[in-house]
């Protein structure tokens, strides 16, 4: 996930020209990866310590609104990503300091938009495999996380994080993260594939970016953002 510590309510986004592919393994998602833009502030922790560094202690004092962004555009053969993927360890530390809500904004190739908000968003520690706790949906995109259209075996609440090299999903016959080539909170599968591979309009695959309660899973979205805000 990606942090913008802008003081602007709602968080204006600014494009970064870093090229980052989300086909990463457990350690990559744990520690974070991507390119840092001047003017944006990233928190880091030592892989040998469970305590955040001095920057992290100052996080809430410096950010009136903490926003997590996940926006992608295609540039040649690369994925261009805004801001910096901070890693699951830092995300857990941030979310454990106070209560946060999550907002997901979606945009399709026709320019139509939709959103989903969740009143509670918590990610556990590595000891829990970054288990997801989420509740309190509202919005107009439909609920693809707690009450997904594909049924309870696709709901994400209580799921552990999986990566291609660390299988924590509920699928009995394979590693969904390996099949989809990404890290995510998979159950038997997911109706909210927000870490998916970025495809342009009209491409066909099973591992793209989709939100199945708004657009079908074979329709890949143009952009998606995930934002967290203290409540």
What confidence tens digit (pLDDT) does each residue in 121-135 have?
Answer: 999 999 999 999 999
Residue 15 has pLDDT above 80, yes or no: no
Give residue 88's pLDDT band: very low, low, confident or very high (50, 70, 90). Answer: confident
**How many domains does the chain divide into?**
1
* Structure-block tokens of residue 141: 């995109």
90-107: average pLDDT? 87
Domain CATH number, residue 161? 3.90.215.10
Structure tokens at 132: 């997801």
**Residue-number span of the structural domain to which 93 is assigned:** 3-230
User: Could you report the per-residue pLDDT of 153-210, keeping only the tens digit for each?
Assistant: 999 999 999 999 999 999 988 899 988 888 899 999 999 998 888 787 777 677 888 9
pLDDT exceeds 70 at position 53? no
Bigger pLDDT: 185 vs 72: 185
pLDDT at 68 over 60: no
The total of other beta-carbon atoms located within 10 Å of residue 14's CB is: 13
Comparing 10-24, 197-211, 212-226, the range with the smallest average pLDDT is 10-24
């Amino acid at each position: 996930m990606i942090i913008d510590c802008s003081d602007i309510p709602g968080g204006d986004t600014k494009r970064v020209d870093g090229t980052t592919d989300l086909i990463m393994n457990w350690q990559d998602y744990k520690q974070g990866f991507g390119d840092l833009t001047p003017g944006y502030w990233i928190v880091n922790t030592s892989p040998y310590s469970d305590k955040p560094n001095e920057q992290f202690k100052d996080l809430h004092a410096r950010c009136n609104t903490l926003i997590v962004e996940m926006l992608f555009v295609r540039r040649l053969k690369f994925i261009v990503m805004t801001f910096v993927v901070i890693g699951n360890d830092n995300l857990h530390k941030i979310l454990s300091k106070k209560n946060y809500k999550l907002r997901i904004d979606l945009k399709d190739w026709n320019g139509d938009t939709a959103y989903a908000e969740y009143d509670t968003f918590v990610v556990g520690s590595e000891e829990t495999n970054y288990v997801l706790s989420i509740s309190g949906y509202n919005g107009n995109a439909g609920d693809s996380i707690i009450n997904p259209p594909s049924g309870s075996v696709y709901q994400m609440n209580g799921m552990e994080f999986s990566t291609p090299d660390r299988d924590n999903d509920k699928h009995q016959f394979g590693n969904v993260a390996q099949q989809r080539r990404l890290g995510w909170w998979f159950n038997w599968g997911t109706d909210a594939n927000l870490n998916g591979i970025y495809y342009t309009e009209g491409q066909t695959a099973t591992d793209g970016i989709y939100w199945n309660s708004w657009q079908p899973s074979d329709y890949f979205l143009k952009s998606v953002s995930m934002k967290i805000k203290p409540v």
